């Protein structure tokens, strides 16, 4: 097996300078207080194309021969790698074809086309798109740009590690999102070659934990599903090269739940004023939920991307509010007489909960005659506030069912 080296990463840093921008390493007082550590956000969501992926794609494309450039490039991607390849190819005047899953966010599909690539939609997840892209490559002779299982791509991603050490030489721990493993492989090689004692820990979505399963099994395996809102790391099979590098260089891999990811997306919006996609939020999700012991350590969270569909974002915000106790749905039955709904609303107002929606239903066979079913969505401060509101409703004699959407 060929091994990625520090020299490979340093060469990549020289190769891609004109393709990328150096992203900020932002110290967060808010998250530092919340985790009893020193938290720094490596904001790759501010990278060109909105993701770190352009780094690896640019390094790979910079090494193509004249003949390879003539035949063009092809890639498979859920979105971020697609945009990186499309941008790097367009800069060099190279034809690019990208196969994307039909489930890819519309924003990523449109952005990839906007960079001049020919986009083909195929399959439900990345792995389906990958198989289709390999079929097309066999016919066209185009160079396949793998999103993670390629040394040149891994080297490009590893330049993030060099930037972290340049900006924060005394870093203790780096938390990195993991899908196929290209990002963490490159970062780990770069950082640990220079600072062996720095911990590099991978974060996966529990619903797409292909690398965790590979490490458990001793080799990459195909998992049954990769159904997660963190679509950028929804990979059903870990890479072979990346698996070997992760075994050698990475300290640990932990997982986070869908609710933890959605809450992290919402937190980044509110506390850091930063838009991150699901994959870009998993490192924060791990930090906020104590999946890794980072107490009193200088810890970098790699916010790997910010390309998220606006319509999907609305759903995530709603889910995040529910998860954090910031929103509550409950249902009750009221006698259908004038003033009864007003009494309930006054009771809720006294507890300083904000009514977002009210639905009143009379004509339903499940509703007793001369009664109405009322469903409300309330804005609350936290779970403690919710319990206080519900206690007042309970003491007033109203029957209720809480959080009916869970």
**Residue for token pair 């009193």:** 296
How far apart CA 84 and CA 55 sit, in angstroms, is 7
Nearest partner of 286 among 192, 227, 203, 388, judged by Cα? 203
**C-alpha torsion angle, residues 127, 130, 134, 137 (rounded to 10):** 170
How far apart CA 122 and CA 127 sit, in angstroms, is 10
Catalytic residue from among 76, 262, 304, 327: 304
How far apart CA 156 and CA 26 sit, in angstroms, is 21
CB 187 within 8 A of CB 157: yes
How far apart CA 205 and CA 252 sit, in angstroms, is 14
The b/e string for 67-98 (b: 16+ C-beta within 10 A; e otherwise) is eebebbbbbbbbbbbbbbbbbbbeeeebbbbb
| CB-count burial class (<10 Å; 0-12, 13-18, 19+) for 151 | buried
Catalytic residue from among 28, 42, 53, 76: 53
The stretches of 141-181 forming alpha helices (DSSP H) are 151-167
Q: What angle do CA 397, 399, 405 make, to 5 degrees?
A: 145
If DSSP codes are grouped into helix, strand and coil, which group holds residue 198? coil
**C-alpha torsion angle, residues 7, 92, 117, 68 (rounded to 10):** -70
Residues 6+ apart with CB under 8 A from 319: 259, 262
- Residue 304 annotated as catalytic: yes
The stretches of 29-118 forming alpha helices (DSSP H) are 29-35, 53-62, 66-71, 80-91, 106-114
Whether the CA torsion 35, 40, 41, 44 is positive or negative: it is negative
**Chain centre to alpha carbon of residue 62:** 28
Nearest partner of 228 among 236, 220, 218, judged by Cα? 236
CA separation (Å) from 391 to 140, 383, 384?
Answer: 68, 12, 11
Q: Which residues are catalytic?
A: 53, 304
């Amino acid at each position: 097996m060929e091994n990625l080296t520090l020299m490979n990463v340093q060469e990549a840093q020289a190769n891609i300078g004109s393709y990328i921008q150096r992203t900020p390493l932002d110290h967060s007082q808010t998250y530092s207080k919340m985790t009893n550590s020193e938290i720094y956000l490596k904001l790759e969501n501010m990278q060109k194309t909105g993701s770190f992926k352009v780094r690896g794609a640019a390094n790979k494309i910079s090494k193509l021969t004249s003949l390879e450039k003539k035949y063009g490039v092809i890639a498979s991607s859920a979105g971020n790698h697609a945009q990186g390849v499309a941008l790097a190819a367009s800069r060099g005047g190279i034809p690019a074809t990208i196969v994307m899953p039909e489930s890819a966010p519309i924003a990523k599909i449109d952005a990839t086309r906007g960079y001049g690539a020919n986009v083909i939609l195929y399959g439900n997840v990345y792995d389906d798109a990958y198989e289709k892209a390999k079929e097309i490559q066999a016919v066209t002779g185009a160079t396949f740009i793998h999103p993670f299982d390629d040394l040149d791509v891994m080297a490009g991603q590893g330049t993030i590690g060099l930037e972290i050490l340049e900006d924060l030489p005394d870093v203790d721990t780096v938390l990195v999102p993991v899908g196929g493993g290209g990002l963490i492989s490159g970062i780990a090689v770069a950082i640990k070659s220079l600072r062996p004692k720095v911990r590099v820990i991978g974060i996966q979505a529990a619903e797409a934990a292909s690398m965790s399963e590979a490490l458990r099994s001793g080799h990459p395996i195909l998992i049954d599903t990769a159904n997660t809102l963190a679509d950028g790391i929804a990979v059903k099979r870990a890479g072979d090269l990346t698996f070997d590098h992760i075994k050698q260089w990475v300290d640990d891999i932990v997982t986070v739940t869908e609710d933890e990811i959605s809450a992290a997306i919402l937190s980044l919006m509110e506390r850091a004023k930063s838009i991150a996609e699901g994959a870009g939020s998993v490192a924060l999700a791990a930090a906020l939920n104590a999946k890794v012991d980072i107490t009193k350590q200088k810890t970098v969270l790699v916010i790997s991307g910010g390309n998220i569909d606006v319509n999907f974002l609305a759903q995530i915000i709603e889910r995040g509010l529910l998860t954090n106790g910031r929103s509550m749905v409950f249902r009750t039955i009221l006698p259908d007489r004038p003033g009864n709904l007003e009494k309930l609303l006054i009771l809720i107002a006294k507890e300083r909960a904000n009514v977002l929606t009210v639905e009143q239903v009379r004509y339903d066979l499940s509703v007793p005659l001369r009664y109405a079913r009322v469903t409300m969505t309330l804005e609350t401060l936290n779970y403690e506030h919710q319990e206080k509101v519900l206690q007042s409703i309970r003491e007033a004699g109203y029957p209720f069912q809480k959080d009916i959407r869970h």
